[in-house]
Chains A and B, each alone.
Chain A
Amino acid sequence: MQQASISEFFEKNKHFLGFDTLNRSIITATKESVDNSLDACEEARLLPDIHIEIRKVKGKTDELIMISQDNGPGIPPDSITKVFGSLLFGSRFHTIRQTRGQQGIGITGVVMYSQLTTGKKTQVISKVKQEATAVYVNIGLDTKKNKAISSKRRRDHWFNSEGEIIEHGVKVQAHLKAKYQRGKQSVHQYLRMTSIVNPHASLSLVVYDEEGEVIDEGNWPRVTDTLPHPVKEIRPHPHGLEIGSLQRFLRDSKERKMTSFLRHNFSGVSVRAAREILYKSEIDEARKPSSITAPEVQAMLEAFKKVKLLSPPTDCLSPIEDLLIKKGLSKAIDSKFVSTVTRAPSVAGGNPFQVEVGLIFGTDLPSDSPVEVLRIANRVPLMYQQGGCLLTKSIESVDWKKYGLEHPGGRGVPKGPAAILVHLASTNVFFTSEAKEALSDNEEVFNEIRLALQEVGRGLRNHKRKSKQREKAREKFELVNVILPEISAKASSILGREEPDLAPVITNIMNAIFSEEMSEWDSTEKVTKCSIKLFNYTNRPRQYTILATWPEREGVEMVNENYEGRREAKGLRKWKLDTLQPSENLEISFSIDGLSKGDWTQFDVFFRGSGDIIGAMKLDEKILEEIRREEMAAIEEEALATKFIIDDVMEFDTDSSGDLDSDELDDAIRGPLGDVIDETTGSEVVETHDAGESGTLDREEITDAISDKNTHQANLFSEEWSDE
Chain B
Amino acid sequence: MDFSRDKTAESVISSLHQVAEEMHNKMMKGTAPTMSLPVRTKKNIEFNKRLGVFKYGKKRSLRDATSLRSANQLLRALHIIEFIEEMINSGKSSTLREMYYISEAWGNGKFGSQNESNNLAEDLEIVTKCMREDFKLRPEEDGARMIGDITINERNRKGDWMKINARDDVGDSGYGLPYNVESEKLRLIENDIDFIMAIETGGMFDRLVENGFDEEHRAGLLHLKGQPARSTRRMLKRMNEEWNLPVIVFLDGDPWSFRIFASIAYGAIKTAHISEYLATPSASYLGITADDILAYDLPSDDLSSKDIEALKAELTDPRFADGWWQEQINMMLDLGKKAEQQSLAKYGLDFVTDTYLPEKLAGLGLI
Contact = CB atoms under 8 A, between A and B. Distances in A.
Interface of A: 475-476, 478-479, 482-484, 486-488, 490-495, 497, 500-502, 504-505, 508-509
A540 to B, nearest CB: 14
A479 B68 CA distance: 5
Q: Which of A482, A487, A488 neighbours the largest number of chain B CB atoms within 10 Å of its CB?
A: A487
B67 interface: yes
A483 B72 contact: yes
B283 interface: no
Contacts of A476: 68
A500 B108 contact: no
Q: Which of B65, B67, B81, B108 neighbours the largest number of chain A CB atoms within 10 Å of its CB?
A: B65
Contacts of B352: none
Contact of A487 (B23, B66, B67, B68): B23
B24 A491 contact: yes
A182 B85 CA distance: 69
Given A479-B68, A491-B78, A486 B109 contact: yes
B358 to A, nearest CB: 60
B102 interface: no
A508 B32 contact: yes
A505 B33 CA distance: 8
Interface in B61-120: 65-68, 71-72, 74-75, 78-79, 81-82, 85, 107-109
A483 to B, nearest CB: 5
A487 B71 contact: yes
A48 B24 CA distance: 69
Contacts of B41: none
Given A479-B65, A483-B65, A505-B30, A494 B71 contact: no
B338 to A, nearest CB: 42
B304 interface: no
Contact of B30 (A488, A497, A508): A508
B85 A479 contact: no
B297 interface: no
Given A490-B78, A505-B30, A479 B71 contact: yes
Contact of A494 (B17, B33, B67, B68): B17
Nearest to A507: B30
A478 B75 contact: no
Contacts of A486: 75, 107-109
A483 B72 CA distance: 7
Interface of B: 17, 20-21, 23-24, 27-28, 30-33, 65-68, 71-72, 74-75, 78-79, 81-82, 85, 107-109
A90 B221 CA distance: 106
A505 to B, nearest CB: 5
B188 to A, nearest CB: 39
Given A487-B78, A491-B20, 4 more contacts: A494-B20, A494-B78, A497-B24, A500-B28
A264 B66 CA distance: 75
The 6 A-B pairs of least Cβ separation, nearest first, read A504-B30, A500-B27, A490-B78, A475-B68, A491-B24, A483-B71
B31 A483 contact: no
B66 A502 contact: no
Contacts of B71: 479, 483-484, 487
Given A483-B75, A494-B78, A500 B24 contact: yes
A495 B68 CA distance: 24
A491 B33 contact: yes
Contacts of A505: 27, 30-33
Given A490-B79, A491-B24, A494-B20, A478 B68 contact: yes
Given A490-B75, A494-B81, A494-B82, A483 B32 contact: no
B65 A484 contact: yes
Nearest to B28: A500
A484 B32 CA distance: 9
B10 to A, nearest CB: 15
Contacts of A495: 17, 20-21, 24
Contacts of B79: 490
A505 B23 CA distance: 11
A280 B66 CA distance: 77
A482 B20 contact: no
Contact of B31 (A475, A491, A494, A508): A508
Nearest to B31: A508
Contacts of A497: 24
A302 B82 CA distance: 94
A482 to B, nearest CB: 6
B186 to A, nearest CB: 34
A482 B32 contact: no
17 contacts: A479-B71, A483-B68, A483-B71, A483-B108, A486-B75, A486-B109, A487-B27, A487-B74, A487-B78, A488-B27, A490-B78, A491-B20, A491-B27, A493-B82, A494-B78, A500-B24, A508-B31
Contacts of A502: 27
Contacts of B27: 487-488, 491, 500, 502, 505
Contacts of A504: 30-31
Nearest to A501: B30
Contacts of B21: 491, 495
Given A475-B67, A483-B108, A509-B32, A492 B72 contact: no
A485 to B, nearest CB: 10
Contacts of A494: 17, 20, 78, 81-82, 85
Contact of A509 (B20, B66, B109): B66
B217 to A, nearest CB: 55
A643 B141 CA distance: 95
A493 B79 CA distance: 11
B72 A491 contact: no
A319 B42 CA distance: 68
Contacts of B28: 500
A491 B17 CA distance: 9
Contacts of B20: 490-491, 494-495
Contacts of B108: 482-483, 486
Given A494-B82, A495-B21, A487 B30 contact: no
Given A483-B75, A486-B108, A508-B30, A491 B23 contact: yes
B110 to A, nearest CB: 12
Contacts of B24: 488, 491-492, 495, 497, 500
Contacts of B31: 504-505, 508
A180 B82 CA distance: 72
B75 A487 contact: yes
A483 B108 CA distance: 7
B17 A487 contact: no
A401 B71 CA distance: 36
A39 B176 CA distance: 92
Nearest to B24: A491
